[in-house]
Structure 1
């Protein structure tokens, strides 16, 4: 696909993800729980928010926290470079890349996994999200292909992240020790050491290893964030945060669908090198992050899930980018530190150059190196866990050696791609691997909509109204009708000897009491009781025979050798106001009479209500004729 085609495809797809999530959040579907209706969250709301907060952190924030705002400030897509307008555009663009759209991508995959995993009791794998489309075929070649695309995309997405981590970690070690860490041999050794530590974490188990490292991550990150906030231009940062949020929200629609189609080629190139790469990167990471947030969200409603996943990590990302990015821009514009802009192209070392302009640079640089290392380890460990989960069809108790194998594969992939083409090779593979998975994600959106529609139809389907009159005296007869095919002769017999006499009985009683009523019968397959009402819609209770093909997997079809031409005949009610009818062939004469009076009582209450006057007012003789039979 040409570059512009890929641009439009990614832009439209990611925009659709965000719109779909917001629509689901404000709709009635937002009340559906990720699990049974009586399921309750496994974690408290505060703990769940804290884990989402941790999910929003990673190597990317360390690498791009200073680097991206500075690069956009020095080379913005539209504004003049190194100006206040460029600073404003740089922060809006950074917010755009790290805000709602990134987490909409993660939320779509996480929501699909959680919904079909906890609501439909399917495995927590990508293929399960396509169940409404392919049904049991997800367990065959189609499902294998979907999981392979997810597997490959995740491997290259995590490998790209590990590549960023290696480059920044090497620069940090150089800053602290003065050693030359630019050689491939040193970086390969660095990858090997981190993968070994990730292996130790894997052996410790997900709860002990990743959880403890994540808690340490959170503590160190918040400490670093608060230090920069108070050691840097605090007043400027707080003011910039407010303005950044306002600019971002006001331009959200324009940013969502911006492709620079009417702009200069260099602006289109900028867009491809930044936004396109980010969308591909987030998409390749979506099985990884999506599975994590799905696993911790059982029992939440869709509305809680969507709003929590979209807003909590986004809020932290935007705060991080403002504190680090705006501090660096302020130092360049007003702090007189032109040397920071001069080294901005060297993003690997830019964070440490930034710390040199703050107090205690040695300590903060050491803290950053430790934080990057822990991020590196947790990314490799948890990434290996997710890849293993996909490869084993959601089985959680796989041998430890399998997770060690996947961790080793991630290290080898990052090493080989860095040796053959550096970071550019990692980015290119991410673009290639993410493209087919974007198509799968669109299918997941469609599948989710179908699943939610079926869910709502299922949850709102009530028991047959006729069952209100069932009692123990006739349970054998009703059981016989439930499990035995009803043919046309038997249905006609019910209409003639049960339904029609019941309507005559009610009509006779009404006429004796001075109420005008009549029985209409166009043919042997339908009849109706009509009670005219001056200036109002007439009361109408009709019964007609309807036929339909026997449904698949119905017990009625079990005794008929798979004959596809068999039809089920039912005695269905119909009404003048167009309400849906229901089958009454299980009722006795007295029960049908009681059902007629139940509807007549409802009718009387409606015609006396001012709120329904418009619907119930009708010209005389407005009652529709009996509907045609098949």
Structure 2
């Protein structure tokens, strides 16, 4: 848990740690994606605009500016955030795969050249997937990823502390919802320098990471959610991933906590080595050699599927909203993304400094986009207020209110409003008038 909040290795610490994990991975990041997805999907599929992040701002800036220099600046910021956020994710994935190779004894040390080689392989894989298109590449990888993740989760659930995991699911949900206000208000003032350092490494980094993914995740889920109502979209985007995160963290977090309580070997010199934690956990269970390899494959596919989506979205943004960007553009952005990740790992030497550099890169890249997202929220709110459906409802409410007020003013206490089914009189049911009938009546 965060420093200074609870006594370490206590029941309260478990509750706080699980609630904090959900705070970082639950409703909050997906709420950011939901706003972006609604704004892009509404403008594209209801208003007929181009699938560009700048199209969100048309209610504020007008068509001329959003299709001119202002729109280009906004789309450039979206590309900038997506590029560096995805590059940081790719680098983090490479460090995790390198940690798995080192943990299994396949390499002595995950050096910078090894990590760069992993990035090259991942880059080639996601470029190939991206140029194959959503239906073939991304969907195929996503399906494989989902199956492998379910297999791994079920395996740990069965061989791990099953009863603890089942108890942890409702407890984590209750702690998350109950402590949400306290977690959202954590600052350096509540824990001093230790809390400040912890917030920088965890909460601030996660928020920056999620925001950097906003352009391409928002555009991607908007594209695959065409035909859904806003209510269906919000419920699906918020609840489905949050429920998956709750189950996932209860299974793996609960198993890691149980291993630490019983064996006490989930830390190195009293600190958690995040790259090795999952491999250390799986080493407690049968088929460790198989499950650790499965984790490396799962991590690789996860980051490949995310990176190829990002390269397609950056291609769409750079080609002014093309739903199917050219392969050359997609390949270009894929190569640039891999190069940025490789350079950051090379500068950091492949150690903890490399991870810190990737985190700092994510924060810096996301900072300008925070302002863009705040303005996007206002633009979406303003546009939804003028939607024809909303306007019709407002007019209907005003007409009903005026009718009631006039009725009370004219008839006083004798006025009443009722709705009764009335069968139309046969004399009132007539065929539509033709031109001759209209002329005769006039």
1:318 alignment partner in structure 2: 246
| Cα deviation 1:479-502 (Å, max 9, x = unaligned) | xxxxxxxxxxxxxxxxxxxxxxxx
1:432 alignment partner in structure 2: 364
- C-alpha deviation, 1:77, in angstroms: 4.4
Paired residue for 1:143, among 71, 79, 85?
A: 71
Distance 1:202 1:262, change over 3 A: closer
Whole-angstrom distance in 1 between the partners of 2:265 and 2:395:
71
1:239 alignment partner in structure 2: 167
Paired residue for 1:444, among 373, 376, 400?
A: 376
1:366 alignment partner in structure 2: 293
Question: What is the TM-score with the length of structure 2 in the denominator?
Answer: 0.86
Q: Does 1:417 align with 2:355?
A: no
Paired residue for 2:196, among 253, 263, 268?
A: 268
1:206 alignment partner in structure 2: 134
| Cα deviation 1:198-240 (Å, max 9, x = unaligned) | 2222232221011111100000000100110111000011001
1:197 alignment partner in structure 2: 125
Check conservation: 2:3, 2:191, Cα contact below 8 A. no
2:325 alignment partner in structure 1: 398
Q: Does 1:608 align with 2:404?
A: no
- C-alpha deviation, 1:147, in angstroms: 0.8
- C-alpha deviation, 1:243, in angstroms: 0.6
Whole-angstrom distance in 1 between the partners of 2:5 and 2:138:
42
- C-alpha deviation, 1:178, in angstroms: 2.3
1:378 alignment partner in structure 2: 305
| Cα deviation 1:34-73 (Å, max 9, x = unaligned) | xxxxxxxxxxxxxxxxxxxxxxxxxxxxxxxxxxxxxx3x
- C-alpha deviation, 1:300, in angstroms: 1.6
- C-alpha deviation, 1:610, in angstroms: 4.4
2:11 alignment partner in structure 1: 84
Matches within 5 A, 1:27-66: none
| Cα deviation 1:123-163 (Å, max 9, x = unaligned) | 12110110110012111111111111111111111111111
| Cα deviation 1:6-59 (Å, max 9, x = unaligned) | xxxxxxxxxxxxxxxxxxxxxxxxxxxxxxxxxxxxxxxxxxxxxxxxxxxxxx
1:125 alignment partner in structure 2: 52
Check conservation: 1:160, 1:414, Cα contact below 8 A. yes
Question: What is the TM-score with the length of structure 1 in the denominator?
Answer: 0.61
Whole-angstrom distance in 2 between the partners of 1:224 and 1:328:
14
Whole-angstrom distance in 2 between the partners of 1:134 and 1:231:
57
Whole-angstrom distance in 2 between the partners of 1:347 and 1:461:
53
SS class of match (1:371): helix
| Cα deviation 1:572-597 (Å, max 9, x = unaligned) | xxx9x9949xxxxxxxxxxxxxxxxx
Matches within 5 A, 1:430-579: 430-455=362-387, 456=389, 458-460=391-393, 579=402
Whole-angstrom distance in 1 between the partners of 2:138 and 2:401:
59
Whole-angstrom distance in 2 between the partners of 1:267 and 1:349:
24
- C-alpha deviation, 1:322, in angstroms: 1.1
Check conservation: 1:77, 1:270, Cα contact below 8 A. no
Check conservation: 2:168, 2:254, Cα contact below 8 A. yes
Distance 1:158 1:77, change over 3 A: farther
Structure 2: which 5+ runs fail to align? 349-353, 419-442
Check conservation: 2:187, 2:195, Cα contact below 8 A. no
SS class of match (2:344): helix
Check conservation: 2:315, 2:326, Cα contact below 8 A. no
Whole-angstrom distance in 2 between the partners of 1:323 and 1:173:
24
SS class of match (1:124): coil
Whole-angstrom distance in 2 between the partners of 1:409 and 1:125:
21
Check conservation: 2:408, 2:415, Cα contact below 8 A. no
Check conservation: 1:385, 1:403, Cα contact below 8 A. yes
Whole-angstrom distance in 1 between the partners of 2:401 and 2:12:
62
Q: Does 1:339 align with 2:265?
A: yes
Structure with the largest fraction of strand: 1
1:11 alignment partner in structure 2: none
Whole-angstrom distance in 1 between the partners of 2:129 and 2:15:
42
2:431 alignment partner in structure 1: none
Whole-angstrom distance in 1 between the partners of 2:317 and 2:267:
43
SS class of match (1:441): helix
Distance 1:608 1:241, change over 3 A: same
Whole-angstrom distance in 1 between the partners of 2:33 and 2:165:
28
Check conservation: 1:76, 1:86, Cα contact below 8 A. no
Whole-angstrom distance in 2 between the partners of 1:461 and 1:103:
30
Q: Does 1:105 align with 2:37?
A: no
| Cα deviation 1:100-126 (Å, max 9, x = unaligned) | 111111111111111111121111211
2:277 alignment partner in structure 1: 350
Whole-angstrom distance in 2 between the partners of 1:371 and 1:364:
10
SS class of match (1:338): coil
Check conservation: 2:123, 2:304, Cα contact below 8 A. yes
Check conservation: 2:316, 2:324, Cα contact below 8 A. no
Structure with the largest fraction of helix: 2
Check conservation: 1:163, 1:414, Cα contact below 8 A. yes
Check conservation: 1:228, 1:324, Cα contact below 8 A. yes
Paired residue for 1:387, among 281, 296, 314?
A: 314
- C-alpha deviation, 1:379, in angstroms: 2.0
Q: Does 1:282 align with 2:282?
A: no
Whole-angstrom distance in 1 between the partners of 2:127 and 2:211:
26
